Amino acid sequence: MPRPDTAKPGALRRDAERNRERVVRAARELFAERGLSAGFNEVAHRAGVGVGTVYRRFADKDELIRAALEEPLHELIEVAQRAVEASRAWDGLELLLDSITQLLVDNLGLRDVALGGGAWDLGVDEVERVAEVMAALLERAAVEGDLREGVQGDDVVMVLWLVTDLAQHSGQVRPGLHRRYLQVLLDGLRSGPGRAPLVEGFTEEQAQSICRRWAGAP
Amino acid sequence: MPRPDTAKPGALRRDAERNRERVVRAARELFAERGLSAGFNEVAHRAGVGVGTVYRRFADKDELIRAALEEPLHELIEVAQRAVEASRAWDGLELLLDSITQLLVDNLGLRDVALGGGAWDLGVDEVERVAEVMAALLERAAVEGDLREGVQGDDVVMVLWLVTDLAQHSGQVRPGLHRRYLQVLLDGLRSGPGRAPLVEGFTEEQAQSICRRWAGAP
DNA sequence: TGCGAAGCGGATGATGCTCATCCGCTTCGG
DNA sequence: CCGAAGCGGATGAGCATCATCCGCTTCGCA
Protein backbone atom coordinates (compact mmCIF):
# COMPACT_ATOMS: atom_id res chain seq x y z
CA MET A 1 0.00 0.00 0.00
CA PRO A 2 2.36 2.74 -1.10
CA ARG A 3 1.52 6.19 0.11
CA PRO A 4 1.60 9.06 -2.38
CA ASP A 5 4.38 11.01 -0.68
CA THR A 6 6.72 8.09 -0.06
CA ALA A 7 10.07 7.64 -1.78
CA LYS A 8 10.42 11.18 -3.02
CA PRO A 9 12.82 11.97 -5.82
CA GLY A 10 14.06 15.25 -4.32
CA ALA A 11 15.93 15.58 -1.04
CA LEU A 12 14.21 15.75 2.35
CA ARG A 13 13.98 18.84 4.43
CA ARG A 14 16.64 18.94 7.13
CA ASP A 15 14.27 18.11 9.99
CA ALA A 16 12.62 15.37 7.99
CA GLU A 17 15.97 13.74 7.33
CA ARG A 18 16.78 13.86 11.01
CA ASN A 19 13.50 12.18 11.85
CA ARG A 20 14.04 9.51 9.24
CA GLU A 21 17.33 8.74 10.89
CA ARG A 22 15.70 8.42 14.27
CA VAL A 23 13.10 6.06 12.90
CA VAL A 24 15.67 3.78 11.35
CA ARG A 25 17.63 3.68 14.57
CA ALA A 26 14.53 2.89 16.60
CA ALA A 27 13.54 0.18 14.14
CA ARG A 28 16.99 -1.34 14.30
CA GLU A 29 16.84 -1.53 18.08
CA LEU A 30 13.33 -2.82 18.23
CA PHE A 31 13.76 -5.46 15.54
CA ALA A 32 16.94 -6.53 17.27
CA GLU A 33 15.24 -6.98 20.60
CA ARG A 34 11.98 -8.53 19.56
CA GLY A 35 12.16 -9.71 15.98
CA LEU A 36 10.36 -8.43 12.94
CA SER A 37 6.98 -8.66 14.59
CA ALA A 38 7.44 -5.20 16.08
CA GLY A 39 4.92 -2.80 14.59
CA PHE A 40 5.06 0.68 13.07
CA ASN A 41 3.36 2.33 16.02
CA GLU A 42 5.89 0.96 18.38
CA VAL A 43 8.79 2.02 16.22
CA ALA A 44 7.34 5.51 16.06
CA HIS A 45 6.96 5.69 19.80
CA ARG A 46 10.50 4.54 20.44
CA ALA A 47 11.75 7.06 17.87
CA GLY A 48 9.89 9.81 19.69
CA VAL A 49 7.95 10.59 16.55
CA GLY A 50 4.34 10.34 15.41
CA VAL A 51 3.14 7.21 13.65
CA GLY A 52 2.33 9.30 10.63
CA THR A 53 5.98 10.13 10.19
CA VAL A 54 6.93 6.50 9.94
CA TYR A 55 4.20 5.69 7.43
CA ARG A 56 5.18 8.79 5.48
CA ARG A 57 8.78 7.66 5.00
CA PHE A 58 8.37 3.95 4.51
CA ALA A 59 5.92 2.56 2.03
CA ASP A 60 5.78 -0.83 3.72
CA LYS A 61 7.45 -2.91 6.33
CA ASP A 62 9.91 -4.45 3.90
CA GLU A 63 11.34 -1.03 3.21
CA LEU A 64 11.81 -0.33 6.89
CA ILE A 65 13.30 -3.74 7.52
CA ARG A 66 15.79 -3.33 4.72
CA ALA A 67 16.90 0.03 6.08
CA ALA A 68 17.22 -1.36 9.60
CA LEU A 69 19.10 -4.53 8.74
CA GLU A 70 21.57 -3.32 6.13
CA GLU A 71 24.44 -3.04 8.56
CA PRO A 72 23.93 -6.30 10.50
CA LEU A 73 23.72 -8.18 7.21
CA HIS A 74 27.18 -6.98 6.34
CA GLU A 75 28.55 -8.23 9.62
CA LEU A 76 27.18 -11.63 8.72
CA ILE A 77 29.24 -11.72 5.56
CA GLU A 78 32.40 -10.63 7.31
CA VAL A 79 32.03 -13.34 9.87
CA ALA A 80 31.71 -15.96 7.14
CA GLN A 81 34.83 -14.67 5.44
CA ARG A 82 36.82 -15.11 8.61
CA ALA A 83 35.57 -18.66 9.14
CA VAL A 84 36.72 -20.12 5.81
CA GLU A 85 40.28 -19.25 6.70
CA ALA A 86 40.50 -21.82 9.50
CA SER A 87 42.96 -24.60 8.70
CA ARG A 88 40.75 -27.33 10.06
CA ALA A 89 37.24 -27.11 8.69
CA TRP A 90 35.57 -28.16 11.93
CA ASP A 91 37.25 -25.32 13.79
CA GLY A 92 36.02 -22.92 11.15
CA LEU A 93 32.54 -24.36 11.51
CA GLU A 94 32.55 -23.92 15.26
CA LEU A 95 33.79 -20.38 14.90
CA LEU A 96 31.24 -19.59 12.23
CA LEU A 97 28.32 -20.99 14.17
CA ASP A 98 29.40 -19.31 17.33
CA SER A 99 29.64 -15.98 15.55
CA ILE A 100 26.42 -16.35 13.63
CA THR A 101 24.59 -17.38 16.75
CA GLN A 102 25.84 -14.33 18.56
CA LEU A 103 24.81 -12.10 15.69
CA LEU A 104 21.35 -13.62 15.43
CA VAL A 105 20.77 -13.57 19.15
CA ASP A 106 21.80 -9.94 19.34
CA ASN A 107 19.42 -9.20 16.51
CA LEU A 108 16.33 -11.34 16.35
CA GLY A 109 15.13 -9.45 13.30
CA LEU A 110 18.24 -10.56 11.52
CA ARG A 111 17.39 -14.08 12.54
CA ASP A 112 13.95 -13.81 11.05
CA VAL A 113 15.33 -12.93 7.64
CA ALA A 114 18.38 -15.19 7.80
CA LEU A 115 16.59 -18.33 8.94
CA GLY A 116 13.09 -17.49 7.85
CA GLY A 117 13.38 -19.39 4.58
CA GLY A 118 11.93 -16.49 2.63
CA ALA A 119 9.13 -15.80 5.04
CA TRP A 120 10.03 -12.10 4.94
CA ASP A 121 11.29 -12.30 1.45
CA LEU A 122 13.26 -9.09 0.81
CA GLY A 123 15.99 -10.15 -1.63
CA VAL A 124 18.89 -10.86 0.67
CA ASP A 125 21.67 -12.59 -1.21
CA GLU A 126 23.96 -11.99 1.76
CA VAL A 127 22.24 -14.94 3.36
CA GLU A 128 22.84 -17.06 0.28
CA ARG A 129 26.52 -16.31 0.37
CA VAL A 130 26.87 -17.30 4.00
CA ALA A 131 24.99 -20.49 3.28
CA GLU A 132 27.46 -21.33 0.55
CA VAL A 133 30.40 -20.81 2.88
CA MET A 134 28.77 -23.04 5.41
CA ALA A 135 28.07 -25.78 2.89
CA ALA A 136 31.69 -25.73 1.77
CA LEU A 137 32.93 -25.90 5.33
CA LEU A 138 30.62 -28.79 6.06
CA GLU A 139 31.88 -30.71 3.07
CA ARG A 140 35.49 -30.15 4.05
CA ALA A 141 34.77 -31.20 7.62
CA ALA A 142 33.24 -34.41 6.32
CA VAL A 143 36.34 -35.15 4.25
CA GLU A 144 38.53 -34.47 7.25
CA GLY A 145 36.50 -36.98 9.24
CA ASP A 146 35.15 -34.59 11.84
CA LEU A 147 31.53 -34.69 10.83
CA ARG A 148 29.27 -37.31 12.29
CA GLU A 149 27.82 -39.62 9.70
CA GLY A 150 24.35 -38.72 8.53
CA VAL A 151 24.59 -35.01 9.29
CA GLN A 152 23.19 -32.87 6.53
CA GLY A 153 23.48 -29.19 5.73
CA ASP A 154 20.10 -28.17 7.02
CA ASP A 155 20.87 -29.67 10.40
CA VAL A 156 22.92 -26.58 11.01
CA VAL A 157 19.95 -24.35 10.26
CA MET A 158 17.83 -26.27 12.72
CA VAL A 159 20.55 -25.95 15.32
CA LEU A 160 20.55 -22.22 14.80
CA TRP A 161 16.80 -22.09 15.25
CA LEU A 162 16.96 -24.15 18.41
CA VAL A 163 19.68 -22.09 19.95
CA THR A 164 18.36 -18.66 19.03
CA ASP A 165 14.93 -19.66 20.19
CA LEU A 166 16.32 -20.64 23.54
CA ALA A 167 18.15 -17.33 23.66
CA GLN A 168 14.92 -15.48 23.03
CA HIS A 169 13.32 -17.11 26.04
CA SER A 170 16.32 -17.05 28.34
CA GLY A 171 18.09 -13.87 27.26
CA GLN A 172 16.53 -11.60 29.85
CA VAL A 173 16.99 -14.08 32.67
CA ARG A 174 20.39 -15.58 31.98
CA PRO A 175 22.18 -13.95 29.04
CA GLY A 176 24.53 -16.25 27.20
CA LEU A 177 22.86 -19.46 28.22
CA HIS A 178 22.36 -20.34 24.57
CA ARG A 179 26.09 -20.86 24.12
CA ARG A 180 25.93 -23.79 26.49
CA TYR A 181 23.52 -25.65 24.25
CA LEU A 182 25.23 -24.63 21.07
CA GLN A 183 28.27 -26.37 22.46
CA VAL A 184 26.26 -29.47 23.35
CA LEU A 185 24.65 -29.61 19.94
CA LEU A 186 27.88 -29.12 18.04
CA ASP A 187 29.58 -31.80 20.10
CA GLY A 188 26.70 -34.07 19.24
CA LEU A 189 27.14 -33.33 15.57
CA ARG A 190 30.82 -34.15 15.62
CA SER A 191 32.06 -37.62 14.82
CA GLY A 192 33.44 -39.69 17.65
CA PRO A 193 33.81 -43.21 19.00
CA GLY A 194 30.54 -44.94 19.68
CA ARG A 195 28.57 -42.33 17.77
CA ALA A 196 25.88 -44.01 15.74
CA PRO A 197 25.16 -42.33 12.39
CA LEU A 198 22.26 -39.92 12.43
CA VAL A 199 19.19 -41.49 10.88
CA GLU A 200 15.90 -40.34 9.44
CA GLY A 201 17.04 -37.29 7.53
CA PHE A 202 14.79 -34.76 5.88
CA THR A 203 14.51 -32.91 2.59
CA GLU A 204 15.43 -29.36 1.80
CA GLU A 205 11.79 -28.55 1.14
CA GLN A 206 10.81 -29.80 4.55
CA ALA A 207 13.55 -27.72 6.14
CA GLN A 208 12.37 -24.61 4.34
CA SER A 209 8.79 -25.19 5.28
CA ILE A 210 9.71 -25.66 8.92
CA CYS A 211 11.77 -22.48 8.89
CA ARG A 212 8.93 -20.47 7.44
CA ARG A 213 6.58 -21.70 10.12
CA TRP A 214 9.11 -21.00 12.79
CA ALA A 215 9.60 -17.45 11.60
CA GLY A 216 5.83 -16.99 11.81
CA ALA A 217 5.30 -16.76 8.07
CA PRO A 218 2.94 -13.94 7.14
CA MET B 1 -15.17 -16.19 38.08
CA PRO B 2 -17.15 -19.23 39.16
CA ARG B 3 -20.58 -19.50 37.69
CA PRO B 4 -23.51 -20.18 40.02
CA ASP B 5 -24.48 -23.50 38.48
CA THR B 6 -21.00 -24.98 38.26
CA ALA B 7 -19.77 -27.92 40.30
CA LYS B 8 -23.15 -29.17 41.36
CA PRO B 9 -23.49 -31.50 44.30
CA GLY B 10 -26.14 -33.74 42.73
CA ALA B 11 -25.64 -35.91 39.67
CA LEU B 12 -26.00 -34.60 36.15
CA ARG B 13 -28.86 -35.40 33.86
CA ARG B 14 -27.98 -38.17 31.41
CA ASP B 15 -27.64 -35.85 28.42
CA ALA B 16 -25.63 -33.37 30.42
CA GLU B 17 -23.21 -36.06 31.45
CA ARG B 18 -22.79 -37.11 27.84
CA ASN B 19 -22.03 -33.55 26.82
CA ARG B 20 -19.54 -33.13 29.61
CA GLU B 21 -17.77 -36.20 28.32
CA ARG B 22 -17.65 -34.76 24.84
CA VAL B 23 -16.22 -31.51 26.10
CA VAL B 24 -13.45 -33.24 28.01
CA ARG B 25 -12.56 -35.31 24.98
CA ALA B 26 -12.49 -32.25 22.74
CA ALA B 27 -10.37 -30.38 25.26
CA ARG B 28 -7.96 -33.27 25.49
CA GLU B 29 -7.53 -33.33 21.73
CA LEU B 30 -7.19 -29.61 21.36
CA PHE B 31 -4.78 -29.12 24.23
CA ALA B 32 -2.76 -32.00 22.86
CA GLU B 33 -2.52 -30.47 19.41
CA ARG B 34 -1.99 -26.85 20.25
CA GLY B 35 -1.12 -26.46 23.91
CA LEU B 36 -3.08 -24.86 26.70
CA SER B 37 -3.65 -21.68 24.74
CA ALA B 38 -6.73 -23.18 23.08
CA GLY B 39 -9.85 -21.34 24.22
CA PHE B 40 -13.27 -22.36 25.50
CA ASN B 41 -15.06 -21.40 22.32
CA GLU B 42 -12.85 -23.61 20.29
CA VAL B 43 -13.26 -26.51 22.64
CA ALA B 44 -17.02 -26.09 22.46
CA HIS B 45 -16.98 -26.04 18.71
CA ARG B 46 -14.86 -29.16 18.46
CA ALA B 47 -17.13 -30.88 20.98
CA GLY B 48 -20.14 -30.01 18.84
CA VAL B 49 -21.67 -28.16 21.74
CA GLY B 50 -22.52 -24.55 22.57
CA VAL B 51 -20.00 -22.38 24.38
CA GLY B 52 -22.45 -21.99 27.20
CA THR B 53 -22.30 -25.69 27.92
CA VAL B 54 -18.59 -25.55 28.47
CA TYR B 55 -18.77 -22.52 30.75
CA ARG B 56 -21.62 -24.18 32.61
CA ARG B 57 -19.58 -27.28 33.47
CA PHE B 58 -16.17 -25.80 34.15
CA ALA B 59 -15.72 -22.87 36.45
CA ASP B 60 -12.39 -21.90 34.95
CA LYS B 61 -9.73 -23.10 32.64
CA ASP B 62 -7.77 -24.87 35.37
CA GLU B 63 -10.71 -27.13 35.99
CA LEU B 64 -10.97 -28.04 32.34
CA ILE B 65 -7.24 -28.58 32.06
CA ARG B 66 -7.21 -30.87 35.04
CA ALA B 67 -10.00 -32.96 33.58
CA ALA B 68 -8.31 -33.13 30.20
CA LEU B 69 -4.83 -34.02 31.41
CA GLU B 70 -5.57 -36.53 34.13
CA GLU B 71 -4.90 -39.53 31.97
CA PRO B 72 -1.74 -38.30 30.19
CA LEU B 73 -0.27 -37.37 33.56
CA HIS B 74 -0.59 -40.96 34.66
CA GLU B 75 1.25 -42.16 31.61
CA LEU B 76 4.07 -39.87 32.60
CA ILE B 77 4.41 -41.61 35.93
CA GLU B 78 4.35 -45.06 34.41
CA VAL B 79 7.09 -44.15 32.00
CA ALA B 80 9.27 -42.94 34.86
CA GLN B 81 8.71 -46.16 36.75
CA ARG B 82 9.93 -48.18 33.82
CA ALA B 83 13.05 -46.06 33.40
CA VAL B 84 14.45 -46.54 36.91
CA GLU B 85 14.64 -50.26 36.29
CA ALA B 86 17.41 -49.98 33.71
CA SER B 87 20.65 -51.53 34.92
CA ARG B 88 22.81 -48.76 33.53
CA ALA B 89 21.56 -45.35 34.54
CA TRP B 90 22.41 -43.69 31.25
CA ASP B 91 20.29 -46.21 29.37
CA GLY B 92 17.42 -45.47 31.71
CA LEU B 93 17.93 -41.79 31.14
CA GLU B 94 17.83 -42.18 27.38
CA LEU B 95 14.74 -44.30 27.62
CA LEU B 96 13.07 -41.87 29.98
CA LEU B 97 13.82 -38.81 27.89
CA ASP B 98 12.76 -40.53 24.73
CA SER B 99 9.47 -41.54 26.30
CA ILE B 100 8.81 -38.21 27.94
CA THR B 101 9.59 -36.38 24.75
CA GLN B 102 7.15 -38.53 22.86
CA LEU B 103 4.49 -37.94 25.47
CA LEU B 104 5.01 -34.19 25.53
CA VAL B 105 5.15 -33.90 21.77
CA ASP B 106 1.96 -35.88 21.44
CA ASN B 107 0.38 -33.59 23.99
CA LEU B 108 1.59 -30.03 24.01
CA GLY B 109 -0.79 -29.19 26.82
CA LEU B 110 0.94 -31.75 28.94
CA ARG B 111 4.16 -30.05 28.07
CA ASP B 112 2.88 -26.72 29.23
CA VAL B 113 2.11 -28.05 32.69
CA ALA B 114 5.09 -30.38 32.95
CA LEU B 115 7.73 -27.90 31.85
CA GLY B 116 5.92 -24.68 32.59
CA GLY B 117 7.53 -24.22 35.98
CA GLY B 118 4.20 -23.47 37.59
CA ALA B 119 2.99 -21.13 34.90
CA TRP B 120 -0.33 -23.01 34.86
CA ASP B 121 -0.11 -23.89 38.46
CA LEU B 122 -2.72 -26.61 39.08
CA GLY B 123 -1.20 -28.78 41.80
CA VAL B 124 0.43 -31.55 39.81
CA ASP B 125 2.64 -33.62 42.04
CA GLU B 126 2.94 -36.19 39.26
CA VAL B 127 5.47 -33.87 37.70
CA GLU B 128 7.39 -33.65 40.96
CA ARG B 129 7.63 -37.40 41.15
CA VAL B 130 9.00 -37.72 37.64
CA ALA B 131 11.51 -34.99 38.41
CA GLU B 132 12.73 -36.96 41.39
CA VAL B 133 13.22 -40.09 39.31
CA MET B 134 15.15 -38.10 36.77
CA ALA B 135 17.38 -36.52 39.39
CA ALA B 136 18.18 -39.93 40.85
CA LEU B 137 18.98 -41.33 37.43
CA LEU B 138 21.20 -38.37 36.69
CA GLU B 139 23.11 -38.87 39.89
CA ARG B 140 23.62 -42.55 39.21
CA ALA B 141 24.75 -41.81 35.67
CA ALA B 142 27.32 -39.39 37.05
CA VAL B 143 28.67 -42.01 39.42
CA GLU B 144 28.85 -44.52 36.59
CA GLY B 145 30.90 -42.02 34.62
CA ASP B 146 28.48 -41.56 31.75
CA LEU B 147 27.51 -37.98 32.42
CA ARG B 148 29.56 -35.21 30.95
CA GLU B 149 31.16 -33.03 33.55
CA GLY B 150 29.29 -29.84 34.32
CA VAL B 151 25.87 -31.12 33.33
CA GLN B 152 23.18 -30.18 35.82
CA GLY B 153 19.66 -31.40 36.38
CA ASP B 154 17.90 -28.50 34.74
CA ASP B 155 19.85 -29.07 31.55
CA VAL B 156 17.47 -31.91 30.92
CA VAL B 157 14.49 -29.60 31.25
CA MET B 158 16.00 -27.22 28.74
CA VAL B 159 16.64 -30.09 26.38
CA LEU B 160 13.00 -31.06 26.65
CA TRP B 161 11.93 -27.51 25.85
CA LEU B 162 14.23 -27.32 22.87
CA VAL B 163 13.11 -30.60 21.45
CA THR B 164 9.40 -30.19 22.00
CA ASP B 165 9.54 -26.69 20.62
CA LEU B 166 11.13 -28.01 17.48
CA ALA B 167 8.46 -30.65 17.30
CA GLN B 168 5.77 -28.01 17.52
CA HIS B 169 7.18 -26.25 14.48
CA SER B 170 8.11 -29.30 12.46
CA GLY B 171 5.44 -31.77 13.47
CA GLN B 172 3.06 -31.06 10.60
CA VAL B 173 5.83 -31.04 8.01
CA ARG B 174 8.08 -33.84 9.11
CA PRO B 175 6.74 -35.81 12.05
CA GLY B 176 9.39 -37.32 14.27
CA LEU B 177 12.15 -34.94 13.32
CA HIS B 178 12.54 -33.97 16.95
CA ARG B 179 13.97 -37.39 17.78
CA ARG B 180 16.95 -36.59 15.60
CA TYR B 181 17.92 -33.64 17.74
CA LEU B 182 17.10 -35.34 20.98
CA GLN B 183 19.69 -37.89 20.00
CA VAL B 184 22.22 -35.19 19.14
CA LEU B 185 21.63 -33.37 22.39
CA LEU B 186 21.84 -36.48 24.53
CA ASP B 187 25.05 -37.53 22.83
CA GLY B 188 26.39 -34.08 23.57
CA LEU B 189 25.47 -34.45 27.22
CA ARG B 190 27.21 -37.78 27.58
CA SER B 191 30.80 -37.98 28.71
CA GLY B 192 33.38 -38.93 26.14
CA PRO B 193 36.99 -38.47 25.09
CA GLY B 194 37.88 -34.90 24.23
CA ARG B 195 34.68 -33.58 25.78
CA ALA B 196 35.41 -30.39 27.66
CA PRO B 197 33.30 -29.91 30.80
CA LEU B 198 30.24 -27.77 30.33
CA VAL B 199 30.82 -24.32 31.72
CA GLU B 200 28.72 -21.36 32.77
CA GLY B 201 25.92 -23.16 34.56
CA PHE B 202 22.75 -21.56 35.84
CA THR B 203 20.62 -21.55 38.96
CA GLU B 204 17.36 -23.34 39.59
CA GLU B 205 15.58 -20.00 39.87
CA GLN B 206 16.82 -18.98 36.47
CA ALA B 207 15.68 -22.26 35.00
CA GLN B 208 12.24 -21.85 36.48
CA SER B 209 11.93 -18.31 35.26
CA ILE B 210 12.93 -19.32 31.74
CA CYS B 211 10.42 -22.15 31.76
CA ARG B 212 7.62 -19.86 32.81
CA ARG B 213 8.40 -17.46 30.04
CA TRP B 214 8.63 -20.25 27.53
CA ALA B 215 5.24 -21.59 28.53
CA GLY B 216 3.82 -18.13 27.97
CA ALA B 217 3.09 -17.44 31.61
CA PRO B 218 -0.32 -15.87 32.17
C1' DT C 1 -48.37 -38.82 29.15
C1' DG C 2 -47.76 -34.24 31.25
C1' DC C 3 -45.05 -30.88 33.19
C1' DG C 4 -41.54 -28.43 35.84
C1' DA C 5 -36.80 -28.44 36.25
C1' DA C 6 -32.48 -28.96 34.04
C1' DG C 7 -29.94 -28.14 30.28
C1' DC C 8 -28.81 -26.11 25.79
C1' DG C 9 -26.99 -22.98 22.01
C1' DG C 10 -24.93 -19.35 20.10
C1' DA C 11 -25.84 -14.37 19.23
C1' DT C 12 -24.09 -10.87 21.60
C1' DG C 13 -21.55 -6.87 23.87
C1' DA C 14 -17.38 -6.04 26.31
C1' DT C 15 -12.60 -5.70 25.95
C1' DG C 16 -8.23 -5.38 23.95
C1' DC C 17 -5.26 -5.47 20.50
C1' DT C 18 -2.86 -3.74 15.71
C1' DC C 19 -2.98 -1.21 11.56
C1' DA C 20 -3.15 2.85 8.64
C1' DT C 21 -5.37 7.31 7.64
C1' DC C 22 -6.41 12.08 7.86
C1' DC C 23 -6.26 16.93 8.87
C1' DG C 24 -5.35 21.00 11.78
C1' DC C 25 -1.17 22.81 13.30
C1' DT C 26 4.04 23.67 13.27
C1' DT C 27 8.39 24.33 11.18
C1' DC C 28 11.53 25.07 7.50
C1' DG C 29 14.03 27.69 4.37
C1' DG C 30 14.08 30.49 -0.09
C1' DC D 1 7.57 36.67 5.37
C1' DC D 2 4.83 32.96 3.67
C1' DG D 3 3.88 28.81 1.01
C1' DA D 4 5.28 24.24 0.95
C1' DA D 5 6.77 20.43 3.55
C1' DG D 6 6.38 18.03 7.45
C1' DC D 7 4.34 16.60 11.81
C1' DG D 8 1.50 14.19 15.52
C1' DG D 9 -1.57 11.29 17.33
C1' DA D 10 -6.62 10.83 17.81
C1' DT D 11 -9.26 7.97 15.44
C1' DG D 12 -12.11 4.21 13.26
C1' DA D 13 -11.83 0.01 10.93
C1' DG D 14 -10.76 -4.78 11.34
C1' DC D 15 -10.11 -8.70 14.06
C1' DA D 16 -9.62 -11.87 18.13
C1' DT D 17 -11.12 -13.73 22.45
C1' DC D 18 -13.99 -13.96 26.47
C1' DA D 19 -18.04 -14.78 29.22
C1' DT D 20 -22.97 -13.88 29.64
C1' DC D 21 -27.85 -14.24 29.06
C1' DC D 22 -32.33 -15.83 27.71
C1' DG D 23 -35.73 -18.11 24.66
C1' DC D 24 -36.17 -22.72 23.52
C1' DT D 25 -35.53 -27.97 23.95
C1' DT D 26 -35.06 -32.18 26.36
C1' DC D 27 -35.24 -35.09 30.32
C1' DG D 28 -37.20 -38.06 33.52
C1' DC D 29 -40.25 -38.34 37.60
C1' DA D 30 -44.94 -39.11 38.92
B160: left (phi over 0), alpha (psi -120 to 50) or beta: alpha
pLDDT exceeds cutoff 70 at B10 = no
Q: What is the structure's pLDDT at A183?
A: 96
Q: What is the structure's pLDDT at B205?
A: 95
Q: Which of B37-51, B71-85, B120-134 has the lowest mean pLDDT?
A: B120-134
Quick one: pLDDT band at residue B90, thresholds 50, 70, 90? Answer: very high
In this complex, do B158 and A174 lie within 8 Å of one another by their Cβ atoms? no
| Closest CA-bearing residue to C1' of D16 | B39
Interface of B with A (CB under 8 A): 155, 158-159, 161-162, 165-166, 169-170, 172-174, 176-177, 179-181, 183-189, 192-195, 198-202, 206, 209-210, 213-214
- Residue A47 CA, nucleotide D10 C1', distance (Å): 19
Which bases in strand D are touched by protein, i.e. have an atom under 7 Å from a CB? 5-10, 17-22, 26-28
Which residues in chain A have their CB less than 8 angstroms from residue B169's CB? 161, 210, 213-214
Q: What is the structure's pLDDT at B5?
A: 43
Asked if the A14-59 domain carries CATH number 3.40.50.200, the reply is no
The angle subtended at Cα A155 by Cα A127 and Cα A91, nearest 5°, is 75
First to last CA, chain A: 16
For A70-214, give the CATH class: mainly alpha
Q: What is the structure's pLDDT at A119?
A: 77
Q: What is the structure's pLDDT at B216?
A: 81
Q: Which amino acid is at B168?
A: Q
pLDDT exceeds cutoff 80 at A2 = no
Q: What is the structure's pLDDT at A57?
A: 94
pLDDT exceeds cutoff 50 at A4 = no
Q: Mean pLDDT, to the nearest integer, of A158-169? A: 95
For A152, which DSSP code? -
Domain ranges of chain B: 14-59, 70-214
Tell me if domain B14-59 and domain B70-214 are identical in fold: no
Q: Is A178 exposed, middle or buried, given 0-12, 13-18 or 19+ CB atoms closer than 10 A?
A: buried
Quick one: pLDDT band at residue B218, thresholds 50, 70, 90? Answer: low
